[in-house]
Amino acid sequence: MDYGSSAGIRFFFTSPGGINQMQVRYLQPMLLLLLAMSAGWHAHGDEPVPQGFSALFNGRDLSGWQGRGHEDPKKWAALDEETRRKKQATDNANLHDHWRVEDGIIINDGQGVFLTTEKDYGDFELLLDWRMVHPGSDSGIYLRGCPQIQIWDPNNPKEKKNGAEYGSGAMWNNNPESEGRFPLVRADNPIGEWNRLKIRMQKDRVTVYLNGKLVVDNAVMHNYFDRESPMFPRGPIQVQTHGGEMQFRNIYLRELNGKNQ
């Protein structure tokens, strides 16, 4: 008889006549242990790549990523090759001082340059799990090298004046009073729990779901570095942190084109 399943593990027992009460009492602790182990596997982010997406994080190391700080993409592109090469080498060294991978999780100590994709992207959908370890930490996801989908502690009294109480997931660096600057709902999980972002960017418009709740609805993302210019057509994904340890996992991206928009 199929007794139950969890995370792909199935348990089978014979008919009632083939197992006695003592055996059941013996097997129950084993079953609970196996279920706990399966929950632990899920908690570490072991999940299949969603259909149509590619994994930006392989779960083992930072292959495909480099370091970069808060840089105007236009000015970065204008650097001569030698200057850019030297600066990139410095940023990469800094990256490995502050970012590491443990048990399938990317961990940052709250300092250092931003975790930056080596590749640039145009229109895309991005999935990413994040966890804030300590109250008062701060993070964000730069899209095409531009800030940012804001991640912060909604209960941080120091950020109340900036609107942290409304929650994470919106484009706080947009122009004041603009659509999308604050989330439609507060959807953050408590400190220490995982959160999932789903971000869709097409041209200059962004839609964001946080933990399954719509927090930004097709709002225009402003060019932080030049308010009079449109959003950059392509650029890297960057993960920014400061103020305390942040953790990330399950980072997937699907590029959008005429076939899958």
Domain boundaries along the sequence of the chain: 2-43, 54-255
pLDDT band at 24, cuts 50/70/90? very low
pLDDT of residue 207 exceeding 60: yes
Do 97 and 112 form a contact (C-beta atoms < 8 A)? yes
pLDDT of 55 > 70? The answer is yes
Backbone angles phi, psi at 27, to 5 degrees: -80, -30
d(CA 32, CA 237): 41
Q: How many CB atoms lie within 10 A of CB 248?
A: 24
pLDDT band for 22, please (50, 70, 90 cuts).
very low
Please state, in angstroms and as integers, the Cα–Cα distance from residue 43 to each residue in 100, 116, 145, 169, following that order.
18, 25, 30, 22
Q: Which residues are within 8 A (CB) of 189 and not within 5 positions of it... i.e. 6 or more apart?
A: 195, 211
**Angle at the Cα of 168 (from 230 to 155), degrees rounded to 5?**
140
CA distance 48 to 252: 10
* 239 and 141 Cβ atoms separated by less than 8 Å: yes
DSSP letter assigned to residue 205: E
Rounded CA-CA distance 86/93 in Å is 11
Kindly give, in sequence order, each residue whose CB lies less than 8 Å from that of residue 24, ignoring residues fewer than 6 positions away. Answer: none
- Residue 151 backbone phi and psi in degrees, to 5: -125, 120
DSSP state letters, 1-57:
-EEEEETTEEEE---GGGS-HHHHHHHHHHHHHHHHHHHHHHHTT--PPPTT-EES-
Q: How far is CA 110 from CA 132, 136, 199, 240, 254, in A?
A: 10, 11, 23, 9, 28
Q: Which of 112, 102, 155, 157 is nearest to 132 (CA)?
A: 155
**Cβ proximity of 13 and 72 under 8 Å:** no
Model confidence pLDDT, tens digit, residues 219-230: 999 999 999 999
Q: What is the pLDDT of residue 214?
A: 99
User: Residue 13: pLDDT band by 50, 70, 90 thresholds?
Assistant: very low
From the options 3.40.50.1980, 2.60.40.10, 2.40.50.140, 2.60.120.560, give the CATH code of 54-255: 2.60.120.560
| pLDDT at 2 > cutoff 60 | no
Amino acid present at 14:
T
Q: What is the pLDDT of residues 110-157, one digit of tens each?
A: 999 999 999 999 999 999 999 999 999 999 999 999 999 999 999 999
**Residue 20: is its pLDDT beyond 80?**
no
d(CA 61, CA 95): 12
- Measured between alpha carbons, how far is 130 from 194 in angstroms, rounded to an integer? 6
User: How far does CA 50 lie from the centroid of its chain?
Assistant: 15
Tens of pLDDT, residues 185-194: 999 999 999 9
